[in-house]
Amino acid sequence: MRIFVLTTIWLAAASVFADSKIKNVLFLISDDLKASVLGAYGAPICETPNIDRLAQQGMVFDRVYCQGTACAPSRRSFMHSLYEGETEINMGKHFIDNGYFSARVGKIYHMKVPGDIIAGTDGLDIESTWLETYNSPGLEAHTVGDYACLNLNIFTTDLGGRYSTAMPHRWFVTVSYEGDGSDQPDYKTASQTIDLIRERKNEPFYLAAGFVRPHYPMVAPQRYFDKYPIEDIELPYVPADDHDDIPPMGFPNVISTKDPIGKYPDNQKRMWAGYYATVTYMDEQVGRIIDELEAQGLREETVIVFTSDHGYHLGEHHFWQKSNLHEEALRVPLIISAPGFRGGRSAAMVELMDIFPTVAELTGLSIPDSVQGKSLVPILNDPNKRVREAALSIDSSGYALRTERWAYIRYNDDTEELYDMVSDPGQITNLAINPEKKAELRTWRKKLDTRLKEAGLKRKAKKG
């Protein structure tokens, strides 16, 4: 735990708080959570009653995209509301500068999972963001239980140091065990956040609680795994020729056709089961925090934001993990429940960077000049409103531009992908190789170049 002394003069900030009915911000962030598995986003299997309850109370944004395709760049981006880099002003500091108590519990900026979690270290945290910080350590894959390394088809209860969380295949690790879950990092994060809500209920606060699940290794008590027998799981459909029209730079590092996981369809289902199990476990921790907020009578003066840093592949296109410019890796959930605003759903294009200016406006604060995101308050007032035409995502391999209908990807070697997301939501047919789409592609190249210029980004140089 790290604690700083609050020196802001509260009376000087009183007029700021008086401008808005909303006094507090509760920022809840999951790790590696794809929108498509949640009940609030139409998924039929995974049990997420608490996130679904929050969705019923707030605005569900259906088209939300990360700006970075891995933890570190994405989290830095939305905390600073910048496409790349950082400034002296970040989300937490902005609230501190306006008289708020700001605290982090768990993973907000990048932490290595499982490394920093096991060690209980701060990762890439930025001190100016918080007045207090709390890490939530745990044993992760060293939790004693039924251990599986699914791509190697290893099942054991004897870790013995042989199957370390630093092993090359750690992203295929699950651990189920007999226990109540209170020893896990996310339970500790919820408990500490609950304590902070009780302690700080009489002052304006910005509390950020970062959960590490469903990030690998997927560890949870057995009862969560029991909810998802592999017999009930259907693997994503992948056409035999799916890879034929994807450029070389469009492939992630881990693919079923090259990794041993491709040999074990049942183990691929166990990956889904482990993902579902840890999402449901994480959902319960979300519920514990929201229940406490309501018990303290703070629900009507607190905006709750729930999201994730990026999505995840679980065998779609035979792809696994993140760091990729396709839909499952880019699309994330975003639910904003704000007192005085009606709930509903919005199909508007949204970037994770838009969270910072949104919560600033909701609480009556100014929006710093450095912010590149756009406030979503107009959409909270009317879900049919739009604040941007397209969402931009950035990867080391290139860029993606997503509109309500189209997904365009351009890699650093100028190879491209283009998908009609209305007729082809699974991104099966790459229209960029269709000769009839040459004019369409010229339009998209210009749109992307314009957007990069507006964002102050230099086009990545060709490789080779």
- Tell me the CA distances in angstroms from 214 to 33, 124, 269, 332, 349, one per residue in order: 6, 20, 15, 13, 25
Is 20 within 8 Å of 360 (Cβ atoms)?
no
Is 236 within 8 Å of 265 (Cβ atoms)?
no
The label of the residue with tokens 């962030």 reads 29
In a domain, 129, yes or no: yes
In a domain, 460, yes or no: no
Q: How far apart are CA 274 and CA 106, in angstroms?
A: 21
pLDDT at 443: 97
> Closest Cα to residue 31, out of 71, 61, 62?
71
Q: What would the two tokens of residue 181 be?
A: 């879950």
Q: How far apart are CA 166 and CA 146, in angstroms?
A: 18
Coil, strand, or helix at residue 29? strand
Residue 165 confidence class, pLDDT cut points 50, 70, 90: low
In a domain, 71, yes or no: yes
Q: How far apart are CA 346 and CA 304, in angstroms?
A: 17
Strand order in the sheet with 146-149: 154-156, 146-149, 173-177, 218-221
Q: How far apart are CA 218 and CA 173, in angstroms?
A: 6
Is 350 within 8 Å of 75 (Cβ atoms)?
no
The label of the residue with tokens 């599986």 reads 148
In a domain, 179, yes or no: yes
Coil, strand, or helix at residue 369? coil
Q: What would the two tokens of residue 90 be?
A: 């970040």
> Closest Cα to residue 401, out of 9, 57, 15, 65?
65
Residue 38 scores a pLDDT above 90: yes
Q: How far apart are CA 125 and CA 311, in angstroms?
A: 22
The label of the residue with tokens 């995209």 reads 65
Is 27 within 8 Å of 206 (Cβ atoms)?
yes
Instruction: Mean pLDDT check: name the lowest of 5-19, 267-281, 320-334.
Output: 5-19
Q: State what percent of residues in the chain have pLDDT above 90.
A: 90
pLDDT at 227: 98
pLDDT at 231: 96
Residue 342 confidence class, pLDDT cut points 50, 70, 90: confident
Q: How far apart are CA 102 and CA 363, in angstroms?
A: 14
Ramachandran quadrant class, 343 (left: phi over 0; alpha: psi -120 to 50; beta: rest): beta
**Which residues have a Cβ under 8 Å from the Cβ of 243 and sit 6 or more positions away?**
251, 257, 317, 318
Is 99 within 8 Å of 13 (Cβ atoms)?
yes
Residue 2 scores a pLDDT above 60: no
pLDDT at 365: 98
In a domain, 235, yes or no: yes
In a domain, 215, yes or no: yes
Sign of CA dihedral 4, 30, 174, 179: positive
In a domain, 7, yes or no: yes
State the residue range of the domain holding 164: 2-454
Q: Rounded mean pLDDT of 241-251?
A: 97
Residue 75 confidence class, pLDDT cut points 50, 70, 90: very high
Q: How far apart are CA 426 and CA 315, in angstroms?
A: 12
In a domain, 424, yes or no: yes
pLDDT at 8: 35
Ramachandran quadrant class, 272 (left: phi over 0; alpha: psi -120 to 50; beta: rest): alpha
Q: How far apart are CA 351 and CA 81, in angstroms?
A: 9
pLDDT at 458: 82
Instruction: Mean pLDDT check: name the lowest of 57-66, 160-169, 196-205, 250-259.
Output: 160-169
pLDDT at 157: 86
The domain total for the chain is: 1
CATH number, domain with residue 407:
3.40.720.10
pLDDT at 240: 96
Is 108 within 8 Å of 80 (Cβ atoms)?
no
Residue 163 confidence class, pLDDT cut points 50, 70, 90: low
